[in-house]
Amino acid sequence: MTFVGPDAGILDRLGDKTAARRLAIEAQVPVLPGTGAPVADFEAARKLAPGIGFPLILKAAFGGGGRGMRVVNKAEELEARFQEATAEALAAFGNGAVFLERYIRHAKHVEVQILGDTHGNIVHLLERDCSVQRRHQKVVEMAPAIGLDQKIREGLCGAAVQLCRHAGYYSAGTVEFLVDVDSGEWFFIEVNPRVQVEHTVTEQVTGIDIVRAQIQVAHGLALHGAEMGIPEQEGIVVHGCALQCRVTTEDPAKGFLPDYGKIQTYRSPAGMGIRLDGASAYGGAVITPYYDSLLVKVTAWGNTFPHACQ
């Protein structure tokens, strides 16, 4: 059996977010001030926090998806937020380790899609903006990032390739960054060594099937070979704009808690520029409480950003 994705060694180096920070530093990619390793207990966090400064954010070292994350605005809040973050990380990932990082209040969350093969070829498929979030979870994603300075775009994409080349990365993956709106500075935050929910917007604007590509890489094919047909870097360009929104089974009357039951009626959009990813969404479908609340991904493409929004 062949695993579709990077090998265990790469997953170890990038799945641990503090190890990924160290790799980024080695690759000379800017990182936010923070702890270089998971923090063992509150006392250690209390001693390290002043060196990072407030506001800071606590993050689960071995997880993602917004779980195990808490913003700490001042020293008096640190103990309570630390207990909350570690408990949530332990429940979600089986490991309560967290690390500390400086928090940027006015930031764009921009990520770069990466494709690499086992022959040493690696390209980026440009960037996505994932700044619209709720509880540190992405809600709306778009490609390309609207209003992003071209120099910043080139810096982010170049840094993503540089880091992944340094890590020996192959398969599909995403390198995530924060861009400080006030100063224009940008910083690496993490690598997701997998296909993400929002890959659809990149597929719509580049015409490259990312899921197919990672399976082909697992077969040992080369990116730029005749079978895969992925262009060299200069041939990867953006056509129009794409926007993705998530349809979730949640109850707004109960603080958007996940909801479940039978779908009585299901009417979906269709037509030019509309893509739906929703295998379990249809009239009569039974939604159980055992899975994520994401039901359908709606992706819209247009020649311009306003067109995609319409």
Residues 174, 172: Cα–Cα separation, whole Å: 7
In one letter, which amino acid is 43? E
Considering 194, 212, 246, 275, which one is annotated as catalytic? 194
Helix axis angle, 150-167 to 8-15, nearest 10°? 130
Q: What does the chain come to in residues?
A: 310
Residues forming beta bridges with residue 128, ordered by sequence position: 111
Q: Is 194 a catalytic residue?
A: yes
DSSP string, 67-113: TT-EEE-SGGGHHHHHHHHHHHHHHHHS---EEEEE--SSEEEEEEE
Q: Cis link prior to 55 (omega < 30° from 0)? A: yes
Q: Which residues are catalytic?
A: 194
